[in-house]
Amino acid sequence: MPDPYQNLPPSVTDPSFDYFVITPSDSVANNFARPANSIRVGTGGDVVAIRRDGTPVTFKNCPSGETLPIRALRVNATGTTALDLVGL
């Protein structure tokens, strides 16, 4: 079945078309190919997200199933205890 929405301009409120598994890393070399528009937490814990200016920010005690509505360049391994992260 063709996508009936394919010719419409994208909006920030649209569902994600691209999504990817996040493997936390402390290396700038492992920044995402493009910033995540949000991060879904599969298994709860802390998420250390890297802002576009390179600043790490810790989101404490994220519950399983939460979606963080943030833009991030990377998720650091150090300090991140949440698992099963997906970038949207």
Which tokens hold the place of 7?
A: 């010719």
Pairwise CA distance, residues 57 & 26, whole Å = 13
Q: What's the number of domains the chain is made of?
A: 1
Domain that holds residue 28: 20-87
Asked if the structure places residue 66 within a domain, the reply is yes
Pairwise CA distance, residues 78 & 13, whole Å = 31
pLDDT greater than 70 at residue 74? yes
- pLDDT tens profile 4-32: 877 877 776 777 878 999 999 999 999 99
